[in-house]
Structure 1
């Protein structure tokens, strides 16, 4: 008896779902072993199972005889339209599984229905007074440039990027299917936990990067300033002639 035939229908469905989630056969095998407490299918079997499902829309092994029945009926198109109206962010493979349709047929019907993939735009969360402060900053900046054209070259611009360990929105995997662009924005909090990479840029180049292992606090930021950031700036510039531009993170004002 082949390894594939020993899998139950529910196990095959879970394999397809896990692969859709992780896009990694090794991770699917780990999930299988944790869930069912037995030896998982091989990587080859997992990939073959997913490929077969994409081609046929079924997780079963029974061969199909005769000419394949067309699935592009008006009834199925209506099912597809209704499914994505209700859950526009459903991954194609999961939708194929739920609707019991081959992935290729599903994609063809979606094209006929005018359903296109749209990805959300990532935005930082803005506080109520932030737009006014931005305008104030722009006015001050323009006045300083008018007074001294070399002013921009004296600015040290700083910023950090948070690389989250979980929960981060990946725009390539987060897709909304609709006939028109829904203009979906995904708000991203600035102080989300994770590994933080900090760096600064000025007219002479890049300074850094430096790493925060934990969420940045006033104390940890001050320690980084004293021990690494200020010495690195001083090595390249005269501290009395620079403007140090904070990026607005709350820890900078604690």
Structure 2
């Protein structure tokens, strides 16, 4: 069963009482008395204390989830300037020139309103083509 994420107030409560009570089991017992729900695991308390002693903060160092893309505003500004100079530049060439992935270039193109396709010229159908 997955445990719920502790709030910042709960984390600071744990750190404050851990310094006073010294052992995670004592913090768990006090948690049960004062907060009236399941306390965090001893390992969670130890990891939180270790993080607090290393960083001085109970906040997460990096946000959970995927890392931020390389498509920041500077790169987004470079793509239109490259397209103005060479309008027929391929996505592959653009990614090589800007040193970013092709999927990032596609994402930038899409945000600019471009459609990613290669136009194919086909012949026109006439009325007598079916004969």
Structure (1/2) with the larger helix percentage: 2
User: Structure 1 length as normaliser, TM-score?
Assistant: 0.23
Higher relative contact order (CA 8 A, sep 6+): 1
User: Structure 2 length as normaliser, TM-score?
Assistant: 0.44
Larger radius of gyration: 2
